[in-house]
Structure 1
């Protein structure tokens, strides 16, 4: 078996050289991290769940005409993706007050925001991914003004889709983080959604109980992280209960 060339390794994923030019293989690890990697554990099964949930969401976004880097799932932990030039900005869309927004503005967690808010963070672990403005982004050349317009339009469309998707299965989309990149085809360049969308990158609360179904269970030492991710997958129809004799527990739908 030929050794694959590793292109990049992050906190939760590894990127390998793909089988064709312009492609990469995205591998989902079981690592769970928080607070810029100050807290780190290996959580068995997390990578498999994130791979399947992100595949489901990206397929739906592709079908809606929202451009993404996703091509197809290869196996339980890996996806084939298009290689893109990542824009060094994390885009966070907030619908409900939680996390750092509460700390910065003194809001009570769970407060419904008057409208969805888009925030930008500069991707730099050494600096702690600081909050930045549109002026910073354009002044430092991280993205041009027309690109920023495209980014915000995509973020709004993705938020509309995700809010409806999760609400339909009894989950409240509190906020989520996305990353975007530039995909060049000939003389054309477009902004596409990259990275992943999973309970690692979203805050998801049960609409009835407000139970947290995302990485906050790890951040806040609540326990039950994998079980919460499994419940998200189950509600989305990705995970089914296996009732065959001699087996127990949930099974991922192929």
Structure 2
């Protein structure tokens, strides 16, 4: 299982870093594709678990939310959107999902809730990755800081848990995750955060701030990972898909950012 994981990483990591470096339409397209694939896998997981979800409205209105969320957060020359476009889109989405449900013969409020969760959480949360990239002067480096710290945390947790893991973090939610893995991943993430601060963010972060940001990324990323595991366990699936050999699906790879990306953005925006 380790070899496919490494091979996928060797292909995926340069793609992600290149998209971040080029920014603009390239990065917007990358994030947009990730959002759509995560929405698709969310629908697949619910369907596999026999959980009610309206796939047509999930993808249709999820796409609409993704486009508006991305355009509303992107900094592009000549792109000026009306101030009320986002609330108008939310109103359209709410109306549309409820209309689909009213027209469905077997109505289910659970299906409405499952559909709304996917539509609002995934596009809204992941679109903040564009906010971070568009922060003046430091956007590229802050995006790299967040993403690489997550990678370091995941890698540290994987190997720490594999070699030292004895105490289960939450057996019912994620049987393989251990406290030793979580602690090892957090410590490595903090070390990686300090190293990246020294390499390209020394004018923005102090060492102490880098330590706190490393802790934030590691802890929130792991909690977000566990939240997605709750979804998978409730649906009875191990991975969101098999699109990424050794890693599961795109939702498995980007689950850390569902809670992390918005929080990271607003912490940077209002405290640094």
Query: Is TM (by shorter chain) over 0.5?
Result: no
Which structure's residues are more often strand, by fraction? 1
Which structure's residues are more often helix, by fraction? 2
Q: TM-score, structure 2 length as denominator?
A: 0.33
With CA pairs under 8 Å and 6+ residues apart, which has the higher RCO, 1 or 2?
A: 2
Q: TM-score, structure 1 length as denominator?
A: 0.34
